């Protein structure tokens, strides 16, 4: 499995196509969320994804998009989180969220992280330190909740520190429900 962390400008046309294809396969087809997936926010996001055998028609195994937040709402927002049906239950989702948290801590130290998820995945995200902050509410006909993970350390500047996460022991007490 090959993991990539890229800003929009760094994505190749093929990578972008395969990401959009994976998102449509999971959100639009599998979960019946009829919506315009390319929502105008891809260009400002950081894209984290895992691929395998780029010659296959569906090589994206896991994906998440991250947004920085702003002065009014400084929390980092993670959305479009998915794992391929072929990789559910094998630790891929766990590895994806660990990478998401490492990237947010490195790029935006001291900021909380926010996401929405199906109610059924609450325990999965709580294992990473997320806590329910809103909901449940209906999104695309399914019950969802909002979850937030508070920053684990005070804000630091890039000049004072760069966070380093080394190996699977960087996060304790995590498990996989996907």
Q: For the segment 159-177, what is each residue's pLDDT rounded down to a tens digit? A: 333 334 444 433 333 333 3
Tens digit of each residue's pLDDT (9 = 90 or more) over 99-146: 999 999 999 999 999 999 999 999 999 999 999 999 999 988 889 999
* Structural domain of 92: 2-161
DSSP string, 30-81: IS---S-S--S-GGGSEEEEEES-TTSS--EEEEEEEE---SSS-SEEEEEE
Separation of alpha carbons 133 and 13, rounded Å:
37
Is 40 within the bounds of a domain?
A: yes
In a domain, 121, yes or no: yes
Domain assignment present for residue 168? The answer is no
Q: What percent of the chain has pLDDT over 70?
A: 85
CA–CA separation, 37 and 28 (whole Å)? 8
pTM of structure: 0.81
Domain count, the chain: 1
Q: What does the longest C-alpha to C-alpha distance in the chain come to?
A: 46
CATH number for 14: 3.40.630.30
How does pLDDT run across 32-61, given as a tens digit for each residue? 878 788 899 999 999 999 999 877 778 999
Half-sphere exposure of 37 (CA within 13 A, CB side): 20
- Count how many Cα atoms sit within 13 Å of the Cα of residue 75 in the half-sphere of its side chain: 15
The pLDDT score that the predictor gives to residue 63 is: 98
58 part of a folded domain: yes
């Amino acid at each position: 499995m090959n993991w990539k962390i890229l800003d929009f400008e760094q994505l190749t046309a093929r990578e972008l196509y395969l990401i959009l294809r994976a998102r449509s396969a999971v959100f639009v087809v599998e979960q019946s969320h009829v919506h315009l997936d390319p929502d105008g926010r891809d260009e400002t996001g950081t894209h984290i994804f895992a691929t395998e055998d780029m010659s296959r028609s569906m090589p994206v195994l896991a994906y998440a998009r991250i947004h920085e937040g702003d002065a009014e709402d400084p929390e980092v927002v993670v959305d479009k989180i998915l794992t391929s049906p072929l990789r559910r239950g094998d630790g891929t989702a766990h590895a994806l969220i660990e990478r998401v948290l490492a990237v947010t801590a490195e790029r935006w130290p001291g900021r909380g992280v926010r996401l929405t998820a199906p109610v059924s995945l609450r325990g999965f995200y709580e294992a990473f330190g997320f806590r329910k902050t809103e909901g449940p509410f209906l999104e695309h006909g399914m019950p969802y909740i909002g979850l937030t993970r508070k920053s684990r350390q005070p804000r630091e500047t890039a000049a004072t520190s760069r966070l380093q996460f080394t190996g699977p022991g960087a996060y304790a007490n995590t498990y996989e429900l996907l």
